[in-house]
Amino acid sequence: GDSVTQMEGPVTLSEEAFLTINCTYTATGYPSLFWYVQYPGEGLQLLLKATKADDKGSNKGFEATYRKETTSFHLEKGSVQVSDSAVYFCALRGRGDYKLSFGAGTTVTVRA
């Protein structure tokens, strides 16, 4: 079945540091890929998405590129802020499906 593996945390960074969170997936066909973010005490919200190979999703300074050849969708941000402290989830949705499969989540803490 479909599955997502993402880098374990927690990750602690200083403000303005570079952030990368690795995500790889296993799926049949051509899934859509997502990064969701969960701020403390809140539900998940979509951060960015990519629906086909070589697509780059971007939002709020975060980027991720759908790499079919390496089955990866790594999340990056060049200069993090304290407000980026959150739990980040990589997820996939199979073609034609509604259901999401999530990775375990990576907790990121950014210190001033």
Partner 1 sequence: NAGVTQTPKFQVLKTGQSMTLQCAQDMNHEYMSWYRQDPGMGLRLIHYSVGAGITDQGEVPNGYNVSRSTTEDFPLRLLSAAPSQTSVYFCASSGEGVAKNIQYFGAGTRLSVL
Q: How many residues does the chain have?
A: 112
Residue from 25, 47, 80, 105 touching partner 1 (CB under 8 A): that is 105
Q: Are 91 and 45 in contact (CB under 8 A)?
A: no
Smallest distance from partner 1 to CB 104, Å:
4
47 vs 15: CA distance, rounded Å: 20
Q: Tell me the window of 17-25, 58-66, 75-83, 95-103 that interacts with partner 1 (CB under 8 A).
A: 95-103
Q: Does 46 bind partner 1 (CB under 8 A)?
A: yes
User: Whose CA is closest to 55, among 23, 27, 33?
Assistant: 33
Q: Are 4 and 102 in contact (CB under 8 A)?
A: yes
Smallest distance from partner 1 to CB 9, Å:
10
Q: Tell me the window of 18-26, 46-54, 58-66, 73-81 that interacts with partner 1 (CB under 8 A).
A: 46-54
Q: Are 112 and 17 in contact (CB under 8 A)?
A: no
Q: Does 16 bind partner 1 (CB under 8 A)?
A: no
| Residue 97 exposed, middle or buried by CB count within 10 Å (0-12, 13-18, 19+) | middle
Q: Does 72 bind partner 1 (CB under 8 A)?
A: no
Which residues in this chain contact partner 1 in the complex, by CB under 8 A? 4, 32, 34, 41-46, 49, 51, 89, 93, 98-100, 102-105
